[in-house]
Chain A
Amino acid sequence: METFASSSISRRMGASSDEPHVLAVDDNLVDRKLVEKLLKRSSCKVTTAEDGLRALEYLGLASHQDGSTNSNCSKVNMIITDYCMPGMTGYELLKKIKESSIMKDVPVVIVSSENIPTRINQCMEEGAQVFMLKPLKHSDVERLRCQIMQ
């Protein structure tokens, strides 16, 4: 399900090199290492965050930050986030991103170890690009990269 306009993507592509920049959010150390490697193998630049708050801070969207803070918003081409995280779930992070006028067109991918239809529907309705099951494979990430590079 594509939720972004091609014009906003080409603007982002123009600002960066050939490598899409992905922000990967996961509270699990092993999973963070794995997703980072998978993304690098698919020629993406990667920034990782261990929870939703740090992800928002990186993007300059945290409530304690004002819009003039030097943020990394314009550099990020995609966000991949785990669903189950302490503090702020992936769903809550998705909502905050979609509420932002700057970031709302950036594709957000939700990953989860649990296949729960109500959870999936909830995320898709909120504008998630796609919902994927963990553990992610190389083929999953390759497919994602193709989608965001269109």
Chain B
Amino acid sequence: MEIVAKLQKQFMEFISALYREGFLDDQFLQLQKLQDESNPDFVFEVVSLFFEDSEKLINNLAAALQQPVVDFKQVDSHVHQFKGSSSSIGAQRVKNACMAFKSFCEEKKIEGCMQCLQHVKHEYFLVKNKLETLLRLEQQILAAGGRIPDLS
């Protein structure tokens, strides 16, 4: 079917670009491999959890950095969580931004931390947008009766 082929091509091009531009790494491929007939929404579920968790962490980080006396251990703990979940999802640029953030926490540099938070937020919303588009494309392919192309 022409529609399915067109959508699949769009999907392949879009996801290849995400890998090429470093938004996603191999770990995302691992997630896709875990999706099967018994659990066809696995990627959607994990990504949704990631979105929920990340937005909570961003709020917690903003609050922690606004305290009159900043508790850098607490900030570091939130960043550690964020680094962990972004790594598990394969959101490479978010993970890297978190790693830089961790260094500033260790050095207790408030300015550096504030800048890092902005950077992490920026990368997070970028990848969120990309992932939402990707998942939408997947749904369109399935709705049109096609299968999601295997990237491996």
Q: Which of B34, B50, B89 lies at the interface centre, i.e. has the most chain A CB atoms within 10 A of its CB?
A: B34
Binding site for B on A (CB under 8 A): 27-31, 33-34, 37-38, 41, 84, 86, 113, 134-135, 137-138
Q: B interface, by DSSP: helix, strand, loop or mixed?
A: helix
Given contacts A28-B84, A34-B46, 14 further A-B contacts (CB under 8 A): A29-B52, A30-B49, A30-B50, A30-B85, A30-B89, A31-B84, A34-B31, A37-B39, A37-B42, A41-B34, A113-B87, A135-B87, A138-B30, A138-B34
A-contacting 9-mer, from B75-83, B111-119, B139-147? B75-83
Whether B88 pairs with A34 at a CB distance below 8 angstroms is yes
Say whether, besides A34-B88, A84-B80, A134-B88, A29 and B49 are in contact (CB < 8 Å). yes
Q: Which of A29, A30, A37 lies at the interface centre, i.e. has the most chain B CB atoms within 10 A of its CB?
A: A30
Residue of chain B at shortest CB distance from A86: B77
Asked whether B45 is an interface residue with its Cβ less than 8 Å from the other chain, the reply is yes
Chain B residues within 8 Å of chain A by Cβ, number: 22
Whether B33 pairs with A33 at a CB distance below 8 angstroms is no
Whether A113 pairs with B84 at a CB distance below 8 angstroms is yes
State which residues 71-119 of B face A: CB under 8 Å: 77, 80-81, 83-85, 87-89
Interface 1/0s, chain B 6-48, versus A by CB < 8 A? Answer: 0000000000000000000001001101100001001001100
Whether A29 pairs with B85 at a CB distance below 8 angstroms is yes
Docked complex Cα distance between A83 and B31 (Å) = 22
Binding site for A on B (CB under 8 A): 27, 30-31, 33-34, 39, 42, 45-46, 49-50, 52-53, 77, 80-81, 83-85, 87-89
Shortest beta-carbon contacts, A-B, top 5: A30-B85, A135-B88, A28-B84, A30-B88, A29-B53
Docked complex Cα distance between A113 and B49 (Å) = 19
Residue of chain A at shortest CB distance from B27: A135
CB distance from A65 to the nearest CB of B (A): 28
Whether B88 pairs with A31 at a CB distance below 8 angstroms is yes
